[in-house]
Amino acid sequence: MQSSCDRRPGLHVAAIMDGNGRWASARGLPRTAGHRAGVEAIRRVAEAAPDLGIGTLTLFAFSSDNWRRPPGEVAGLMGLLRRYLRHETGRLARTGTRLTVIGRRDRLPAGLPAALDRAEAETAGGERLHLRIAVDYSARDAILAAAAAGPADNREAFGHRLSGGVPDVDLMIRSGGEKRLSDFLLWECAYAELHFSDRMWPDFGAEDLAGALRDFAARERRFGGLGPVPAAA
């Protein structure tokens, strides 16, 4: 379910992009308008990330539980993903951004898995940022799949199998005011710092990301020990 070994330095920041639908409803717009605005926020955040010290950025776009949403909304989300791949892959390649998609692909609409494969291949050489998009993703299902592959010698070996060598999450951000992980990167977030923002995802931008990182840098990370480890390290 995951990509091969990651080579990029820098922080691993993950984000649950919540609030698209509520943003749209507050403006009297259909929920799909909120999702379209959310794509613009992805562009803003991904462009700002490398200059803020982020090497890996993992975004939760569509959970395995989101199939329960109305068929029209699901179809709209899948259409947005297709358009994102069509319009953004070239720009990602030019800016040194490697795109990978995590999650299941066997339930995606016809043609979409192949489009994901092409985008990943075209951006494979990107070294400035590793942008990971979670689609039809469930952390619990990912852990079960990794465990079903056979025993691992230790937690590091199991974690490598689960994530393909991508480092654990340093900072988890959730927009939209909710305060839960929603089955996202549960293993990888074992020692992640958590940042919850009331801002809806379509309004989230570079300054919000920078603010979350300032909050992160002020925290002490002990990883179960007694001596503080500066978060910025």
What is the widest separation between alpha-carbon atoms in the chain?
A: 54
Distance of alpha carbon 180 from alpha carbon 177, whole angstroms: 10
Inter-residue contact 144 to 194 (CB < 8 Å):
no
Retrieve residue 12's tokens: 């691993």
Q: For tokens 């840098």, name the residue.
A: 217
SS3 percent helix, strand, coil of the chain, rounded to 5, is: 45, 20, 40
Set 6, 65, 66, 198: catalytic member: 66
* Residue type (1 letter), 124: A
DSSP track, 86-106: HHHHHHHHHTTEEEEEES--T
Residue 66 bears catalytic tag:
yes
Distance of alpha carbon 48 from alpha carbon 209, whole angstroms: 8
Set 18, 136, 170, 208: catalytic member: 18
Distant-in-sequence, close-in-space partners of 121: CB < 8 Å, separation ≥ 6: none
Distance of alpha carbon 158 from alpha carbon 155, whole angstroms: 5
Residue 154 bears catalytic tag:
no
Q: For tokens 């507050």, name the residue.
A: 26
If phi > 0 it is left, if psi is from -120 to 50 it is alpha, else beta; for residue 69 that is: beta
Active site residues: 18, 66
